[in-house]
Structure 1
Amino acid sequence: MFMIPLCYGLLFWGMLYVDTGTAAVLELSLTPVTLLGFALLLGDERYDGRRLFAILLGAAGLCILFGPEAYAGWTHADQQGRGLRLLAMTAVASAAVIYAWGSVLARPLLEVYSSDFIAGFTTLFGGAFLILISLVVEPGAAAALKGDWGWPAWVGWLFLVLFGSFIGYTLFIRLLHEIGASRAGAFAFVSPVIAVVLGMITYGEEVSLIDIIGMAIMLFAAFLALRERKQETSSASPPLIPRSARAVAEHERRRAHPAANQP
């Protein structure tokens, strides 16, 4: 529910009324910040000042890269358009928060079930639920099921299914299990750089010095976030939000007997 229907439903609606620069700043900067925040609140990770600095540095790099486009889109909108844009921006930001919350909540399940199973289950049933909701509330959803989209749309859909869901989402779930939520969220600082480079190669888009500075900052931030200290022995800390005694006991049992958690 969190990672597919609630997140992508809000995100795709919001992107109808928000320019790509604003959406990129909101989604890609909030995702790693909220991943770290929820991981700390729920006791999944311990506080690390270096990692927090890396995430904030990456968010600054995103603002440098996409900020001018976001500002231009806001200033050119009329008063009525600004109200709709503000609502759409709230939806995009909420999608990032919900996705991060769902990611941290899903991590205990990865101690019981395989990463591929969790990725497939959430994608299959989350996508099916989102289709049902769209059939109820979205005009033209039923007609879209006929598949009369044209080949460019089909190619885009196939690309997203293969690289976005089958490969990208599955890799994210694996990283979520192996290295934790905040470090897995560092992908948000690498994806925009790849997008800009592909745009430059494929469409001949111009890249300014400001763009290069923003991308360099984001790549350095990703390096800091993913770099692991040798003295780190545990990735967990006492949760800021207390859990029940039963939940704590179950968590300790899984840590003590990891082999017994496999299905």
Structure 2
Amino acid sequence: MPINKTVAQRVMFVFICFVWGTTWLAMKIGIATVSPGIFAGLRWSLAGAIILLIRRALGERVVPPSRLWPRVTFISVLLITLNQVIQLYGLKTITAGLAAVISSALTPIALLGFSVATGQERFNRRQLGALGMGVAGVLILFGPATIAGTLNLWEVIGAAGVTIGCLCYCSGSVMTRPIMRTLDPVQLAGLTDLIGGLILLVAPVAVEPGAVRSLHFAWGWPAFLAWLYLLGPGALLSTTMYFMLVRDWGPSRPGTYAFVSPVIAVIVGCLWFEEKLHWGNALGMTLMLGAAFVVLRTTGPIQRSAVATSAAKPA
């Protein structure tokens, strides 16, 4: 008996929410024993190579025009290299749940900001209200500890790392839109994954502590399993399913995974890593996700498309 198409789509959506809600946990497991640059570089370079090899086997174009190479390389550094290494080092000092919330909440807001800066979108009152909610969420997360003088500096640095990495990715996402007039989105995804991943592999050998040792692959089975999870379900399967849902549902509806995945990340983090969640943290996270919800619900087709593009590679 054939599976109903609607049921299959819902199963794919649930799969995406769960997998992308647990990728932060897998990254946290991996970087506990492996150099962040090597861990991420191997994942993204291999994912990009697989995408481009499949395109080549199907007879589709792989190499971009020579005039686009500088722009594609620069965008690859923003989308993959800087985004990944900064976020992973930030993840070393904060919980996976907080990292997931910051990334999911900030992405649509940052995309809106960069779109406004490039003249692709305009602010309205509701969006300004959403920014206010986001700021309130941050103040609730860190304000009480600041006033009491008990603020954990390393936690702030970690949150700043995840934030900066997310901003790098969002700025790169907005920059990809003009290039998509020439390059196919999947082709561009493969190129950015491969180029950004290769830079992540080469650069750490010279500057990152433990990078050379990580290339000996004495990672331990938890890190290997985490890496395989991030490569297979986390990158290739979920991204393919996401593009299918964008095709069938439109860009905005699948993007609502951003409000489900962080909840999964927080719950699994509490169970797996015994991460603590206080009522102030929960309230702050709720406000940040509420701000993201307002932005997603009030933006026009152009911005929703940008959100969908960014959501395809959340972490």
The interval holding the TM-score normalised by the smaller chain is 0.5 to 0.7
**Residue matched to 1:131:** 201
Aligned pair partner of 2:88 in 12, 19, 28: 12
5+ long unaligned stretches in structure 1: 237-263
Q: TM-score, normalised by structure 1?
A: 0.63
**Residue matched to 1:103:** 173
Aligned pair partner of 1:195 in 265, 277, 296: 265
Distance change in 2, residues 1:114/1:105 (3 Å): same
1:43 aligned onto 2:113: no
5+ long unaligned stretches in structure 2: 1-76, 304-315
Aligned pair partner of 1:33 in 106, 109, 119: 109
Distance change in 2, residues 1:86/1:201 (3 Å): closer
**Residue matched to 2:192:** 122
Give aligned-pair identity as a percent: 36
Give distance in 1, aligned partners of 2:222 and 2:155.
28
Is the deviation greater in 7-16 or in 123-132? 7-16
Counterpart amino acid of 2:221? W
Distance change in 2, residues 1:197/1:12 (3 Å): closer
1:58·1:217 contact (CA, 8 Å) conserved in 2? yes
Give distance in 2, aligned partners of 1:88 and 1:214.
17
Deviation of 1:131 (Å): 0.6
Is the deviation greater in 26-35 or in 126-135? 26-35
Structure-to-structure mapping, 1:208-247, within 5 angstroms: 209-210=279-280, 213-214=283-284, 216-228=286-298, 235=302
**Residue matched to 1:57:** 133
Aligned pair partner of 1:162 in 219, 227, 232: 232
1:190·1:219 contact (CA, 8 Å) conserved in 2? no
1:200·1:207 contact (CA, 8 Å) conserved in 2? yes
Aligned pair partner of 1:75 in 134, 150, 158: 150
Distance change in 2, residues 1:169/1:46 (3 Å): farther
Counterpart amino acid of 1:150? G
Give distance in 1, aligned partners of 2:156 and 2:279.
30
**Residue matched to 1:249:** none
Deviation of 1:219 (Å): 4.9
Give distance in 2, aligned partners of 1:70 and 1:25.
19
| 2:122 match: secondary structure | coil
Distance change in 2, residues 1:199/1:107 (3 Å): same
Is the deviation greater in 217-226 or in 94-103? 217-226
1:186·1:222 contact (CA, 8 Å) conserved in 2? no
Deviation of 1:89 (Å): 5.8
Give distance in 2, aligned partners of 1:30 and 1:90.
12
Give distance in 2, aligned partners of 1:137 and 1:119.
27
1:2·1:98 contact (CA, 8 Å) conserved in 2? yes
Deviation of 1:206 (Å): 6.8
| 2:180 match: secondary structure | helix
Deviation of 1:111 (Å): 3.3
Give distance in 2, aligned partners of 1:54 and 1:123.
32
Give distance in 2, aligned partners of 1:50 and 1:130.
39
Give distance in 2, aligned partners of 1:165 and 1:69.
37
